[in-house]
Structure 1
């Protein structure tokens, strides 16, 4: 309807305003509409996200934190309607996991958790796994830890997805001499991922590892 088109245009105008308080008003309006008219937002999610994702990466910390906090509620409300924008959603969340700003980091972690809880876990595992090569620091730790949780949920339903996406992440860690050299924190999450995969796959994990370089096999044996 004309009314809906005008309402969406109002959101776009607010979200792209020069004044940060106006952009914050745009985030607030979008969140209100998610709750009152979820179908309108779902039907236009790709275009809306073109504008909203800019605010998740806003240079103004207040806007960025508010957008991430709004995203947590949006994920819980819209759930699988977010599938068409999942790649950009995961990218936007993970880009904020290395923030030194506690409010922004905390909101990004909540958004990460919300995506695991409310969106199809098979798709989320795929996107997390594909994103791993771009991550470093705290973001790498946080996403690897969540990957371990997802493996347990996804393997019984879609073993081939775990083998195709999560296993290469483990091989990459084990082959990078990551365990002896890098921080103790990395070792903790890699061990957790290896054990989650072993619990899900049993002896098949070692069978898959047999086709990997020798140092990968050795590092895996040391963990298990």
Structure 2
């Protein structure tokens, strides 16, 4: 790392400490410092982005809500870089949850009038990652009795129909998910509007993170079976106590987890898969950048396991991903794996894709058509997995209607015929 990067990281650590200890005395400097941090997100490497996130977490948790909201909106709401807007939306979402819907919608000067139009804008952003956090905030606020009144008062009239459409679809999806236990068996969704109060964020230095990773790697790589079990349990405990810290170390942490999933000891495999069912709801979308290594490690090695306990643990880990992460992050890799798998695993993954279709198609129709339809054509061309294929086809039919038949027109006669026969049963 060059000297300038080292200086930047020390400066960001220092800002985090200042936010934590000076608290409201930092309010006059928030707009300048937050804007500088957000600008760094758009051009920096992953390590510096993690430092930016840590500093902004400290700001959100310790500084005055009004000043923090103004600073985030001023620094990132209209930024041209998607990464900056996503970072802004993510920390704004945390801030909204910390502040509470009652206060956000109470017309406190500087909060309601500025944040509602901003959330409406983020919920309709061109980037799906930004939209995710914008819609999360909308849904959180929509459970409050004052939401409709404040929405009409502060959100531009031309935007209100789309905002209502977003909140209604989110509520419909939640009801559909909770009424379909078969689709995601291991996961319990939180009640509408239920949000855990974030804990106070501690500032962690670069040295602390490096020490943590070094100790974690040593214990996770131990030749002693019991030490590896303890290492996995410690990661779970750390996710409960300091999830933002684990998220800041996610790459080495999940490299170690994947190594345990890939080892030959079946007890370690099962213990790791079961631990993931606790880790995933705690880290949620912070895991987005490690899905490309985590999902294959679960699917390829364990979903077809003949050991029932391991198969169930793998199924539970995948179900937890579907339940707790934005499905747009999962769809591509799940569809790819469902096409290449064989046996029962193919059916399990296909059913999970069907669940994703219900949630994703209203907001990402092109993504679903590009990723899911090739999977359906391949399944229809095969005589196996008829039950899961029917489930997926029905999920697509509910969203696409007769358009599904038109998309099948360029396919082979066998695929087209199989689709027509299946649709007649709906």
Name the TM-score, length of structure 1 as normaliser: 0.93
Q: Deviations over 1:41-68 (max 9, x none)?
A: 1111112111110112221111111101
Runs of 4+ in 1 over 4 A off after TM superposition: none
Q: Map residues 137-176 of structure 1 onto 2, 5 A cutoff.
A: 137-175=343-381
Tell me the distance in 1 between the aligned counterparts of 2:292 and 2:369. Answer: 20
C-alpha distance in structure 1 between counterparts of 2:342 and 2:225, whole Å? 29
Deviation at 1:167, TM superposition (A): 0.4
In 2: Cα distance, 1:162 partner to 1:152 partner:
10
Name 1:100's counterpart in structure 2: 306
Q: Does 1:206 align with 2:411?
A: no
1:188 counterpart = 2:393 = no
- CA RMSD, aligned part only? 1.2
Give the structure 2 partner of residue 34 of structure 1: 239
1:219 is the counterpart of 2:425:
no
Residue 118 of structure 1 corresponds to which residue in structure 2? 324
Q: How many residues align?
A: 217
Question: What residue number does 2:73 align with?
Answer: none
Q: Distance in 1 between matches of 2:336 and 2:409?
A: 23
State how far apart, in whole Å, the 2-side matches of 1:199 and 1:3 are. Answer: 51
1:89 to 271, 279, 294: 294
Please give the alpha-carbon distance, in whole angstroms, between the structure 2 residues aligned to 1:134 and 1:6. 40
Structure 2 gap ranges (5+) = 1-204
- How far residue 5 of structure 1 moved from its aligned partner, in angstroms, is 2.2
Residue of structure 1 equivalent to 2:220: 15
Q: Is the 8 A contact 2:280 2:324 kept in 1?
A: yes
Which one of the candidate residues 266, 269, 273 is aligned to 1:68?
Answer: 273
Q: Does 1:134 align with 2:340?
A: yes
How far apart, CA to CA, are the structure 2 residues paired with 1:162 and 1:218? 22
**Cα separation, 2, equivalents of 1:200 and 1:143:** 19
CA radius of gyration, larger in: 2
**Cα distance, 1:134 vs. partner?**
2.6
Please list the CA deviations of residues 78-126 of structure 1 after superposition, one character each: whole Å capped at 9, or x if unmatched.
0000000111121122121111112211111111110001011112122
Structure 1 residue 11, shift from structure 2 partner:
0.9
SS across alignment from 2:328: helix
In terms of fraction of residues, the more helix-rich structure is: 1
Give yes or no for contact 2:339–2:378 (8 Å, CA) kept in 1: no
Q: Which deviates more, 103-112 or 74-83?
A: 103-112
